[in-house]
Chains A and B, each alone.
Chain A
Amino acid sequence: MDTTLFDPGLLGVIVAAGLLTWMTRVGGPWLIARVRLGPAANAALEATPGAVLVALVAPAALSRPSDAIAALFVCLIARRVPMALAVALGVLAVVILRRLL
């Protein structure tokens, strides 16, 4: 039987990630009072969250045709229906498409 209560290595990762996450939350109001970003740096910072999400999904979403079509479908409905529904429909679509393709 696995009697592990928690993983110490993972806890270290969680604490470090949590601390950095908290710093990103506190950092906005803190920085805005102190730093004046140039237009290029500002544009890069604005584009970063989207670029990270694209990089996260691109390899998996384009790994096979069924998943790519389902991903496109989710993109099309994402702004028209609540997120939970968009995700549920996307999962349903991928299950059907994986059987067909």
Chain B
Amino acid sequence: MTTITLPSPVSVPREVALGAVHALPILAGAVPFGLLLGSLAAKAGLTPLDMGLMSGIIFAGSSQFVTVEMWGHGAPGLAVIASVLLVNLRHLLMGATLAPRFQGVPPVRAALALFFMTDEVWALALRRGGQLTFAYWFGVGLTLYVGWLCATVAGTLAGALVSDPAAWGLDFTFIAVFLCLLAGLWSGAGSLPPWLASAAAALAVHSLLPGGPWHILAGAVAGGAVAAWRGRSATPGQEAK
């Protein structure tokens, strides 16, 4: 069986501890981002409680950067919500790859566990393969959850200390983070056509409607359309060759 249900010989505390240990290097990388997100949130007018609620309820780094940036620029709430959804659509694909691990898991337990599925939790879970246990999953997930919550709130509390993000190039951090995430999605020259279509559409719409979120939607639709057209006759098996 390769389900996430706990096989009897495995010690629960040991699996939780193993997950926590595996999460530590990721946490070390996430904490500076949490601090930075918090300080940017403070600049955008968010309180520490706002930040804590956001980290506790959304718990998704890049979409929280999007939320803070858009909210700080006065974007309408619905636009922020739509953008978060678009940014996090990748979870659908990531979760789909973990489907065999969740086969036969009680729905409530799966729904609870999947709340913690960030890019990093997903990557570690995938690496565990058939050895993946519910306890390991929570060891990773809760470590990152508590660490992220603390880092973002601490960053917001300290945020007043950062005077002008742009003077320190900190506004570029958003761009750099998203570019790094993008680089992780690169899968060869085939990635390029949808990305170029997205860039062209986003730039065009942004020049017509600057400040709004519509360029994000336009880019997503244009990129998706190009990918659909290119992939219309391919089957997954053919793509693998």
* A-B pairs under 8 A by CB, number: 288
- Residue from A24, A29, A52, A58 whose CB has the most chain B CB atoms within 10 Å: A52
Bound-state Cα–Cα, A39 to B238, Å = 11
Chain A, Cβ-Cβ closest to B95 = A28
Q: Is the CB of A51 within 8 A of B81?
A: no
Chain B CB within 8 A of A100 CB: no
Return 12 A-B CB contacts under 8 Å, by A number.
A14-B53, A16-B81, A17-B85, A28-B97, A45-B89, A48-B89, A51-B223, A58-B215, A70-B176, A78-B180, A83-B29, A83-B180
Q: Is the CB of A44 within 8 A of B225?
A: yes
Chain A residue contacts of B191, Cβ below 8 A:
47, 50
Bound-state Cα–Cα, A44 to B172, Å = 29
Question: Measured between C-beta atoms, what is the minimum distance from B24 to chain A in Å?
Answer: 14
Chain B CB within 8 A of A1 CB: no
Chain B CB within 8 A of A101 CB: no
Bound-state Cα–Cα, A95 to B199, Å = 24
Chain A CB within 8 A of B16 CB: no
A3-31 interface (Cβ within 8 A of B): 4-7, 9-18, 20-22, 24-31
Chain A residue contacts of B223, Cβ below 8 A:
47-48, 50-52, 54-55
Q: How large is the interface on A (under 10, 10 to 19, 20 to 34, 35 or more residues)?
A: 35 or more
Q: Given A46-B227, A57-B179, A51–B53 Cβ distance below 8 Å?
A: no
The B interface, classified by DSSP as helix, strand, loop or mixed, is helix
Q: Is the CB of A49 within 8 A of B85?
A: no
Chain A residue contacts of B71, Cβ below 8 A:
10, 13
Chain B residue contacts of A29, Cβ below 8 A:
95-96, 98-99, 102, 110, 114
Q: Is the CB of A43 within 8 A of B230?
A: yes
Chain A residue contacts of B98, Cβ below 8 A:
28-29
- Residue from A6, A15, A51, A92 whose CB has the most chain B CB atoms within 10 Å: A51
Chain B residue contacts of A62, Cβ below 8 A:
203
Q: Is the CB of B114 within 8 A of A57?
A: no
Q: Is the CB of A53 within 8 A of B84?
A: no
Chain A residue contacts of B163, Cβ below 8 A:
none
Chain A CB within 8 A of B66 CB: yes
Bound-state Cα–Cα, A58 to B194, Å = 13
Chain B residue contacts of A28, Cβ below 8 A:
91-99, 114
Q: Is the CB of A9 within 8 A of B224?
A: no
Q: Is the CB of B67 within 8 A of A17?
A: yes
Q: In the complex, which of the residues B80, B92, B183 contacts A24, with contact meaning CB atoms closer than 8 Å?
A: B92
Question: Measured between C-beta atoms, what is the minimum distance from A75 to chain B in Å?
Answer: 6
Q: In the complex, which of the residues A16, A51, A74 contacts B179, with contact meaning CB atoms closer than 8 Å?
A: A74
Q: Given A14-B67, A22-B115, A48-B223, A75–B179 Cβ distance below 8 Å?
A: yes
Chain A CB within 8 A of B132 CB: no
Bound-state Cα–Cα, A44 to B194, Å = 9
Q: Is the CB of B228 within 8 A of A53?
A: no
Bound-state Cα–Cα, A7 to B202, Å = 30
Chain A CB within 8 A of B189 CB: no
